[in-house]
Amino acid sequence: MKSLSKILLIIFSVFTFNACKKTIELKTGIWRAVIQTAGGELPFNFDIQKEGNNYSVFVLNGDEKLKMDKSFVKDDSLHIPMEIFDAEIVAKIGDEKLIGYWKKMRSDFSFLQGNLTAEFGKTYRFTEKKTNVSSSLASKYKVLFFSENKKDSTVSVGLFNAKGNEVTGTFLTTTGDYRYLSGNIIEDSLKLSCFDGTHLFLFKAKIEGDKLVGGEFWSGLTSLETWEGIKDENAKLPDEKTLTYLKDGYKTIEFSFPNEEGKKISLTDKRYKGKVVVAQIMGSWCPNCMDESKFLAPWYAKNKQRGVEIIGLAYEKSIEPNFAFPKIKRLKERFGIDYEVLLAGTNDKAAASKTLPMLNQVLGFPTTIFIDKKGQVREIHTGFSGPSTGKYYDDFVSDFNRLVEKLLAE
């Protein structure tokens, strides 16, 4: 009887202890997160909404509301998976706070991990003060990014929209844009950031009259480039239609790559012969490619009966089918892609170039190749100006439709 009494006492004590424990609730609504980088704090915002027993998490960058994979609470922590990027956020739930980490698998299969904290109800980016700014920011700048040794520079275009001390914008480059950036002007300093699950971007610069000086661009946790800009309403990039081209003696591209069923697909197949074809050099890991896919997928659904095809050539972190195709499948499901996406190679540009030896190079992801009904390449567009670029995105859509209409009419 004494043993039974002891057992009952232990059971009663456990139940009493659990009943007295404080239940920490994961609050729904807007949060402000900070990831620690070598360049300082990189802030971003996200919105948590309850969805059955799980949660929907949307990362907020300017006008973008980017949905993460289905998130869940396990034990005392929130898990936000980003499977398509091989990344995740895991954070212990506190009283209106989260403390944890962001972790991502790199191309060499090593891991990058940074400390993360978040506070509930904070909607600002870098500062919550609504102050008048001491320096004005122009809408367009010619920008130079410098390599670490300062020997190489890259011409870019900075696009900004400032309202008071709040700023949104992006940078155009020859291989795409830096997507949705959001931040503030604090006295004479410009600060912008972006987090999209895989990329961590932190930009800083001083505003001096018509110039942006002392610029720092921190990518990931430790990578640094310097930059500077000068106000220029006529700033522009090199023609994106001239950067990637066919080598002398070639009129078309040829390939034979597998789909998820292991079947080799080529442009000589019946599905593509005699049709206008748009070949999309891309990868499931690439946010700019996602932006392009977000345009191409519904466009294809609307136009595929008109004698036009799209084919995706995916360059992934590994050519191992069991690794790559689940990611390609998730990409297709996420954006409703109804065209073939083939596993073409790895996402190293030099290695990708070897798979398409008729091209001078694969300079960037995505690259879009337009092929006429005779199978001849008519235009190659390097990079992609996504929705964050405003007019530049609208111009891409107009040019895309104009060219395809021309090729269909021939």
Class of domain 29-120: mainly beta
- Integer-rounded Cα Rg, in Å, for the chain is 25
Residue-wise pLDDT for 238-281, tens only, equals: 999 999 999 999 999 999 999 999 999 999 999 999 999 999 99
**Burial of 306 per CB tally in 10 Å (0-12, 13-18, 19+):** exposed
Q: Is the pLDDT of residue 21 over 50?
A: no
Q: What per-residue string of b and e applies to 346-360 under the rule 16 or more CB within 10 Å gives b?
A: bbeeeebbebbeebe
* CATH dotted code for 140-231: 2.40.128.120
Domain with CATH 3.40.30.10 in the chain: 257-409
Residue-wise pLDDT for 62-78, tens only, equals: 999 999 999 999 999 99
Residue 64 host element (H or E): strand 64-67
Tokens coding 292: 């392009």
CA 48 and chain centroid, separation: 20
**On the CB side of 84, how many CA atoms lie within 13 Å of its CA?**
22
Q: Mean pLDDT for the chain?
A: 92
| Contact predicate 147/225, CB 8 Å | yes
Q: Residue 25: what pLDDT? A: 82
Domain with CATH 2.40.128.120 in the chain: 29-120, 140-231
Class of domain 257-409: alpha beta
Q: Which residues contact 8 (CB under 8 A, 6 or more apart)?
A: none
Collapse the DSSP code of 112 into the 3-class scheme (helix H, G, I; strand E, B; otherwise coil) and give the result.
Answer: strand
Collapse the DSSP code of 164 into the 3-class scheme (helix H, G, I; strand E, B; otherwise coil) and give the result.
Answer: coil
Residue-wise pLDDT for 84-135, tens only, equals: 899 999 999 999 999 999 999 988 889 999 999 999 999 999 999 887 676 7
The 10 Å Cβ neighbour count of residue 292 is 27
Q: Look-up: residue for tokens 């994106």?
A: 240
| Contact predicate 90/101, CB 8 Å | yes
pTM, full prediction:
0.88
Residue-wise pLDDT for 324-364, tens only, equals: 999 999 999 999 999 999 999 999 999 999 999 999 999 99
158, β-bridge pairs: 141, 171
Which amino acid, one-letter code, is at 405?
A: E
**Closest by CA position to 236, among listed 115, 319, 155, 330:** 155
End-to-end CA distance of the chain: 95
Phi, psi of 19 (to 5 degrees): -70, -30
**Closest by CA position to 293, among listed 282, 304, 303, 307:** 282
Tokens coding 65: 């509301």
**Closest by CA position to 309, among listed 264, 334, 274, 258:** 274
